[in-house]
Structure 1
Amino acid sequence: MPELKRVMLLIESSRAYGRGCLLGAAAYIRSHGRWSVVHVERGLADEVPRFLRNWKGDGILARIENRRIADEIAEIGVPVVDLRGSHRPLHGAMLDTDPRLTSTLAAESFLDTGFRNFAYIGYPGVDFSDYRCDAYCEYLNSRGMDVSVYAPPQSRQQKSDVLAWESRGELEGDAIAEWLQSLPRPAAVFACNDVRGRQVIDACSRSDLSVPEEIAVIGVDDDEVICELSNPPLSSVQPDTLRLGYEGAALLDAMMDGHLAPSETVYIPPKGVSRRLSSEATAVNDREVAAAMRLIRDHACEGVTVQDLVQRLNVSRSTLERRFHAVFGRSPAMEIERVRMSRAKMLLIGTRYKLSKIAATTGYGTASQFATAFKRHTGFTPGKFRSQTQISP
């Protein structure tokens, strides 16, 4: 029987992101690994435990917040996989949530509900915040939209530590409120993480801006506690932390067996947007069109048809199609397919599901029907699209 591998888990349990990574690692250990695990309760930026300097182990799975922690871990001299995506371990590997897909999901969620005024608020100088800002602006610019980016007070622009930024952000309410008041409304605000999103909602209450009718907000991380502490509750992009922890553990296992670490960061797609009240506005004056869009968004992948919409809304098909096209520039049928295809792309990128399962999940009857619709919509077969875009484990 092979010997137990001694593994240190330096992953914070103070927030949902870290706990999700730990659960993903636990799933891998149960199914594959003979590991003896050491895990110490900690926050993201806590010091490396003193006993680690004398620890005799085989590998470390970590979320490395700063260079100091990275250097201390490097001195141990064992394979390291980092799940934070900021500081590459010496001779180690990095995984992270894909910032491009994260920002695209937020933008598409706002576009789906008719918003045309967009804004971003983050922590300048913090890597993940800057990545998401760049990706959000680039995507919306490619769609012909401008983005207003919040610039904090000058005295607060030098911090690169996210925890310091979050703490000082609690004192920025007046500055954020002034910025929000300057935006054309209704405005769709994408926040770099859930803490920043909660700070935006708090600033709205300071300046009598209604959420989501005047300011809609989406954060990132889907931390239920932080999201529910917001009033109204915060919508958030949900990272696939279980997969992140699982894939990270699998990669560490391979490295402990002598395999080389990948030279590039491995990006894991997010799972989707967890919708709560902070973004549940439809920036459309036509009530029937807004209701149709909500029904499509919620039920397109369950096989909803235009006739279902007509019956639910008690309007004629010609009237709904004319008014829908006037607002969105496309028909309800086109929107149903667009929502289905958006979900299908995420499944092709982020899973290894067979086409039959993707077809069933997205409202198509058979794999053949799905493949025909996908090629008509994208110009690619599902297999070709998957081979060009899927992230290798």
Structure 2
Amino acid sequence: MRVLISGAGIAGLTLAYWLRHRGIESVVVERAPHGRLGGYGVDFFGTGYDVATRMGILDRLTPHRLPVDAVEFVDASGSSQASLTPELLERVIRGPHLPLMHTTLEGALLDAVATEVEIRFGESIAEVRDTGTAVEVGFTGGGRERFDLLVGADGIHSRTRELVFGHERRFVRHLGCRLASYPVTDRYGWGRVRAHYTEPGRQVVVYPGGEPGRLVTLLLFRSPYGESVPRERRPDLLRARFDGAGWITPSLLDDAPEGKSIFMDAMAQVVMPTWHRGRVALVGDACGCMTMLSAQGVSMAMAGAYVLAEALASEPGHESAFARYQERMRPQVRRRQRNALLFARMLLPVTRAGLTTQSLTNRLITRRPFAPVLRRQFGADSFLPPATAGPERG
């Protein structure tokens, strides 16, 4: 069996690793020339952490743990109004937790497959034809090839999904806000704290980056969905949307890099009736994006890749393998999407009254007795059956 994987992100690289581990050949194509832009932090725990353990890559990740000791909700003066302490975070997650930069995890996955799997950067699919016995793929760089299966691991704006299932407007549920992220020098003295500052319709977050003396700035703001914002227009859009904002926001905007270095996208979920059609399947954000509000998008992308590879290796045909994969993963994704959707409604209140309610809620739920409530929202144990002793290295 020969599988084409479209997308060399978290889901695609994890899938390539586990397919090779189970004796299945794969080829990965990625439209970016040297990997994707992912300069933001992720909370790595639950099933994704379990998968990484089975891959034996934790030793590559733990030295790059982000030094976040607490989460603070601050007012315009920078004074803490509520705090998630390390003790409370431990009670919420109740298991291994590794805050990382997205690029750190992606780099470790790339290292794990680089010498074993063919990866074609600067290439993407342009045409797909399922013949019933194979998938014929035309590439943007020219040429055509035949594969037994095609898996779209190409993110929320999946080209594979568009070619095989239809335009993204049929499946993408927008949550009414956008996010932007970029690194800055820590000249503010926030050190090992993740700080959140909220005003009606907008929020500013800073947390330690992957390098000493660096912070990551995360900006969230209410926005009706529109087309992707060109990179050169992103700094001006952020200045307009955060004009007059308090706290250290003006300085963070002054420190923003050129537009090409600012990550920006609409916050949205992907909801589909089926994740597979014929010899084509989707994995990760392409079929089940939950948004960063779930705190589990990366974890579930790795989980889906692991489950899909396992199904392809053990089921008698691709139809039953795809069905088993979807049956196992979709309930997990749907539950986390529901939780994230509820959280999104409270994240960016649009009035001062709503902001006051949010502030009071933050003070309440960051107390120890409410740890089980936060756990239901964000915590997640691995749902995979126990692994055999030792990492399942390929």
With normalisation by structure 2, the TM-score equals 0.32
- When you count strand as a share of all residues, which structure comes out higher? 2
Could you say which structure has the greater relative contact order, defined with CA pairs below 8 angstroms and 6 or more residues apart? Answer: 2
With normalisation by structure 1, the TM-score equals 0.32
Which structure would you say has the larger Rg?
A: 1
- When you count helix as a share of all residues, which structure comes out higher? 1
